[in-house]
Amino acid sequence: MSKYVKDLITKDLRQRLSGVADALVVDVIGMENNKTVELRQRLRQQQINLLVVKNSLVRRATEGTSLAPAFDGVEGTLALLWGGDEVIALAKEVIRLAEKDGFAPFKAKGGVMDGQPLSAAQVQEISKWPSRDELLSLVAGQIVGVASELASQITGPAQQIASQIEKLIEMKEGAGG
């Protein structure tokens, strides 16, 4: 490949990956053609991008960006995944597809999250974390729980006093009548 063509591809990769902060590196080499098409369709449905790219070209394209650590120590042809809601959802989807949906030899090789490189084992661990939506619902539940407990503690003594006043009124009415 000529230097001119490499520069064009590198420029195109830079444009495609501009604004991408988190990505995973996966292995798709050796998959059957039909399985590859099915895999790409499933990923596209979740707004996840899959790009098979030559290692040296993607290193040149990501040099100086937060994606650069993802390619340290990775050899051979690889595929880059990015997109989806967040990196945790991306990791969950990769692990689910690799283990449960029979897309062998599709598997995570590593990645990058917040500029920090990830190993395959770390991607596996991240896939077990709660997603952003799950975390938000947990926090909302904790906030509402504290607020409702506080409200019941504030209104509890007032309800007891009101109940005692009602009993006192009933006793006075009963004694007077």
- Does one domain contain both 106 and 140? no
Interatomic CA distance for residues 120 and 112, integer angstroms? 11
Length of the chain: 177
- Does one domain contain both 33 and 43? yes
- Does one domain contain both 47 and 125? yes
Residue 49 phi/psi, 5° resolution?
A: -95, 140
- Does one domain contain both 90 and 175? no
Give the model's pLDDT for residue 160.
Answer: 82
Over residues 85-127, the pLDDT tens digits come to 888 888 888 888 888 767 778 888 888 988 888 888 888 898 8
Q: Residue 34 in contact with residue 41, Cβ under 8 Å?
A: no
Q: Is the pLDDT of residue 69 over 70?
A: yes
- Does one domain contain both 80 and 110? yes
User: CATH code at 32?
Assistant: 3.30.70.1730
- Does one domain contain both 160 and 96? no
What are the structure tokens assigned to 130, written together?
């709660």
Give the model's pLDDT for residue 177.
Answer: 54
Q: Which residues of 32-64 are buried (b: 16+ CB within 10 A; e: fewer)?
A: eeebbebbeebbeeeebbbeebeeebbbbbbee
Residues spanned by the domain of 117: 3-129
Q: Residue 77 in contact with residue 52, Cβ under 8 Å?
A: yes
pTM for this entry = 0.70
Q: How many domains does the structure of the chain reveal?
A: 2
- Does one domain contain both 93 and 34? yes
What are the structure tokens assigned to 20, written together?
């991408």
Q: How confident is the model at residue 131 (pLDDT cuts 50, 70, 90)?
A: confident
